[in-house]
Every structure is written in structure tokens, then in C-alpha cells.
Structure 1
Amino acid sequence: MSLQFINAEKRVNDTVVFPSFNLNVDTGKVIALYSSVNVREQLINLLLEKTRLSNGQILFSNTPEEIGFLFLDSGLYERLTVKETIQFSKRLYGTTIPVGETLRKIQLDSKQNVKINRLSHSEKKRVQLACLLIHNPFIYILEEPDQNLDLETKRIFISVLNELKIQKKSILILTGNLESAITSSDEVYRLDENGLHNVQIQEKTDGNEEQLEKNNELEEQATAVVQPVRFEKIPTKVNEKIVLFDPIEIDYIESNEGQSFLHIKGESFPSVFTLNDLEQRLLPFGFFRCHRSYIVNLQRVREVITWTRNSYSLVLEDAKKSTIPLSKTKMAELKEMLGL
């Protein structure tokens, strides 16, 4: 049983929450939607049928038991024990899955008689996951499933996901953390007011970085004429995966102790290239080396602030209103570029 979004569009008054998009969450796949809190809440309300789409449709079974949710808020009864909580879910959904087997999956069999209010945040999340496993729906909707979890619980969560994939379940993760989305899923999509976009991911292997360098050399040799606009992705590393970003997604780049970091919507990602390499690659896309340790996307700059005669800063129009330094010599270059 798959979950399908067909020409799904949501508007609130005159504001576009997300424009029309199509997405199919197939059986045996884990799909992550990376979005803002507002988009995530709208999607959950739509899936719960509390609200309706402005246009399009969401297709899944008409039977409520065939779709299950793991919410950010646990909603557990604090006075019940772990075992009592799971037994309550078993009676509620009328399933035949053994409680003991589920306790072993979440590795809380040793704490089955401990009350919920005495568990850690991560242990409570495991109990919440156990209740969902007891429910045993065809479609799983997971809201920020690994937020603030300890390493052991994250490992258990990934193990459960792999088992659900083998069972041919359809799994949709809704998160505002890109690293979490990449680590947990097979495919990652970004959904915002500009629509649905695939986040390109490659599994990292030992020879990947050497291959990237070879590809870059071949690209340079094959390019006899400098193009005014270049279409290319900028690779970053997240755990064992390589994520490819469009240059226009990047707010600014910072170099710290020889390592370059891309800053994108409040998150930081290590780059496989040096700051000098990135400066050359991103020049055709409107990026500017504003400081020896910073490159900025000029389309993101909102203000230029003068602190003293020799001290300047750029304020970006991102959510954090990030402030990055602008050196005196670069200020002169920027003025010339702006025609001031």
C-alpha cells in the first residue's frame, strides 16, 4: 500500500504553503521530506484529514488502521509502565504481535516494569516506536523521529526502519533536519513555497573523492571556452553519503582551520573543496569573496553595515539574519561592483 500525493497544493488565505507537487512513497521505501515547521504541520493535518488540500489529492487506504503516526510529542501515559503501555496499544489496535518480541526490538525488556515518567527522553521515544510497531500499519508517518535521541536509540531506530523496508511498508519521514533526512532515508526531497525538489545523494566510497577530482580535471580540459553561466552541483559530506547542492541554495561559505563549510538554511555542511576552489566554481553564480575566510552569495545580502572606518559586515536575509565580516579591501571591490 503506497502513499501518493497527486498535484497536491496548499494555500492559507493568499499565502502559498507549498505549490502543486507529485510524490509517491512506494512500498519498501523510506522517503524523507525536508521542510519548515509550517509545511510539516500542514502535511500532518492533511494526512490526519483535519484540513483539506487547496488542489489535488492524497491517496491512501480509506481504513484508518492502515496508516500510523509517530508524532514529535510522545503523548504517552506517564503513570503506566512500559509493558502496560504496549499492552494498551495491542488491545487498542487488536493486533496479534507479541509484546515481548516488541520489547526486545526496542531493547527495553529489562525496563518493562518501569513507569514512563521515569524513562529518559530517548527511552520514551522507543516506547512510542514500540506502540507504532504493535499498531502495524501499512503506511508509517514519522515526525522528527530521531530528534535529540541518544546514539543507541538512533541505532535501534535505523534497525527498525530496515526491518520495515523488508516488510514492504511505506515510510514517510517529515523533518526539518537535513542530516537526519539523509541518514534515515532512501530518497530525500525538499518541500517549500517553491515546490518539491530532489536532494541528490551519493553513497560515499573510498575512491569517490579521487573520482571527483578526476572528473573536475576532465571537465576543465574539455572546456575550451569559459561559459557565462555554469550548471553544476556542489558536493558536501554527511556521514557516509555525499549530498549535492545547487549553488543558489547556498547562503555563504566559511573556512575554519582549513575546512570549508557550506551554510544552507541555518545548517552547516563540510565541503570536499577548499575555499579557493569554491571561489572559482561559484564566481559565475554571483558569489563574492568578502573576506579571506568567507564567500557570500550576493543574492542573500540584505544590508552592508559600517562599524568603524575599517570594519564592515554583511547582513544576510536568512532566518537567522546571519552577519559575516567584510574586509576593507573587499569593501572597495564591492562598491565598485555595485556602482557606488
Structure 2
Amino acid sequence: MVDNVKLFIYADKEVELKHHLATIVTENELQYSIINLNHNYAHFKTYTLDEPLPERMKVKEIIKFWCKWYSSSLASETIIHKCNLAIFSQKRIKKLSNSELKLLHIAKLVIVPESKFIIKEPLQNVTIETKYTIINLLNELSTSNTIISLTNHTEEALLISEYCYRFNKNSFKPIALSNDNSEKYASSIAENQTHLSRQPIRRLTVKTNEKTMFLDPIDIDYLESQDGKVVIHVGDEQYIHDTTLQNIETLITPYGFYRCHRSYIINLQKITEIISWSKNSYSIRINTSKDTLIPLSRQKAKDIEQFFNIYE
């Protein structure tokens, strides 16, 4: 078994990962930053899973070539069977679908004599069947290798590994998940909003992929009311919370949030600009990967200016 690994997240900063199959949820730009920082790091091999392959070769031919090139102890037929490539093993690479091509790239990881991998978006744009083939392969590989998967989607991260981290420009920290008992406890808490309103919280519980995620309020950009429920915006992802904006306002206001509109609660730390369209029409720009504008009234704009000691 390989030892715990240290990973560069900045040129002058490392983090230690104690698990042999871990996922990091971060935006595309930071994914490439991690790849570039660690590309030449000792014993790390990085894969974006979109490197060009010889288009005229058949799948069976390139698997056989890789087995020979890397002196694999596994026969090419074994690789084809293990990685579920048989059904398209006679297809030329240029005719492969996105799912087939990504699975072929993953199959290469089974062959190469490396012990530490960083891979980018292994489950993106693949079929459900391919997705679970890849998940099984990564879990099997992690018994003798360290695999760090980079993705922009928390749900995909949770499918790959229970050891997930969220990385942005300000922090690198684990994504808290509950076990079965904790899920029942979280459900019980959700049913007692009155009691909760008197308790300080450090997480918001959100159900996703049959698991309960605990969102740190600091990661939340803003919350929006839609169809009687609350949509929580975290980066490029959205989570549905089965409550009202009024109920959640009581819980989250102590953590630097403000009800700027009847349909919106914003994280004051994420505000980058207040825009004045007219005497009584304003918008807030939020610091996200998208150009997000949130409406607010003149009075709400004055309140926010007071929060930041801005005076006319």
C-alpha cells in the first residue's frame, strides 16, 4: 500500500491526504492549477482524460500496445474484460463516443506502472453504465494506488469516494457527510425548526444522492426562494432545501447573511459590487464563476452600505 501523499494546492502550500481514493471539488481553473503544480512532482502522474489518441487504431490494438509498452503483467484480453471494453473493442478510436473514449483513458490507468494519480473529471459526460464501471475501476485501483480525482460536481465526487474536499481560492477543507445514524439525527433536527432557531449552527443539511451533506455557510453564495422551497447556490452547484426562506433566514443570518430581497438571502462576504440602475433600482453582483446579479431596493442598498461603512 502506498503511503499518504502530499499535494500542492498552491506553489508554496501542500496538503496531506490520508486516503487512497479522494476527491476534490473545485472549479475548472483550479483543477488545472493543481494539475500543473503537481505534474512534475515526484511519483505523481496527472491525467485530464482528454489527451489525443491515435484515431486509426482500434481499441483492442491500443490496449495491446499499452500492455506491451508498459510491460504489464496483465494480458490485453484481461484488461478488455476488466474494463468492459469488449463490446467496442473492434471500433476505431475516432468513432468512439465520449463515454467509450473516457473509459478507454481510464483503462490505461490499469496498465501504466504508476502508484499516484491525479485525474480530472472522470465521470463527466458519460453514461450511467460507464459511470459505474469507472467508479468500480477506481475503487479497485485504489487498493494499491493513491488516486486523487478532481471534479466540479459534488454529487459525482460523492459517488467516487466518501473522502471529499472542497477547494476554492480561500480554503481547502473536507466536505462533511453523515453516516446512517447521523442522517436520522439530521432529519430529526430538521423537524424541529423552533428548537433549531435557538441553537447556533455550523452546517446546513442537504440531501443529495441519498446522502446527507453538511454545507458550511461560508461556502454558500446566496439562497433563493423557488416554488416554496429554498435553492442554495454554492459555486456552480445548486441544492434544494425543503424549507422556506423565512425559516432558513433565522438560522443563517448570524453567519453573515442578509435578506436583501423577498426572494433572496446573500452572503455578505461574497458581494463584489453594488450597481445603481436608477434612483430606486439596485443590484448586487456576487463573487461566483457566473455573472450573478441579485435585485435589491434602495433601502436594502443603504443597509448593505452601512454593513461595510460606505457612506454617500
Common topology (TM > 0.5): yes
Matched, 1:30 2:6: no
Distance 1:194 1:338 in 2: 24
Local SS of the residue matching 1:322: strand
Q: In terms of mean alpha carbon deviation, does 244-253 or 263-272 score higher?
A: 263-272
Matched, 1:261 2:231: yes
| 8 Å CA contact retained: 1:190, 1:197 | yes
Matched, 1:154 2:131: yes
| 8 Å CA contact retained: 1:72, 1:143 | yes
How far residue 220 of structure 1 moved from its aligned partner, in angstroms, is: 5.1
Matched, 1:142 2:128: no
For structure 1, the 5+ residue unaligned runs are 12-18, 50-57, 61-66, 224-229
- Identify the residue that residue 20 of structure 1 maps to in structure 2: 13
How far residue 69 of structure 1 moved from its aligned partner, in angstroms, is: 4.1
Paired residues in the alignment total 305
| 8 Å CA contact retained: 1:235, 1:272 | no
- Identify the residue that residue 182 of structure 1 maps to in structure 2: 158
Q: 1:187 to 1:258 in 2, by over 3 A?
A: same
Partner residue of 1:235 out of 187, 194, 205: 205
| 8 Å CA contact retained: 2:201, 2:251 | no
Residues 270-292 of structure 1 deviation map (CA, whole Å, 9 limit, x = unaligned)? 22443222111111123222222
1:95-106 paired onto structure 2 within 5 Å: 95-106=72-83
Q: 1:21 to 1:70 in 2, by over 3 A?
A: closer
Local SS of the residue matching 1:270: strand
- Identify the residue that residue 80 of structure 1 maps to in structure 2: 57
Q: Percent identity?
A: 30
Q: 1:216 to 1:98 in 2, by over 3 A?
A: farther
Matched, 1:131 2:122: no
- Identify the residue that residue 141 of structure 2 maps to in structure 1: 164
How far residue 154 of structure 1 moved from its aligned partner, in angstroms, is: 0.8
Distance 2:133 2:180 in 1: 23
Distance 1:336 1:132 in 2: 55
How far residue 304 of structure 1 moved from its aligned partner, in angstroms, is: 3.3
- Identify the residue that residue 335 of structure 1 maps to in structure 2: 302
Q: In terms of mean alpha carbon deviation, does 111-120 or 298-307 score higher?
A: 298-307
| TM-score, structure 1 as length reference | 0.78
| 8 Å CA contact retained: 1:74, 1:124 | no
For structure 2, the 5+ residue unaligned runs are none
Partner residue of 2:184 out of 201, 207, 216: 207
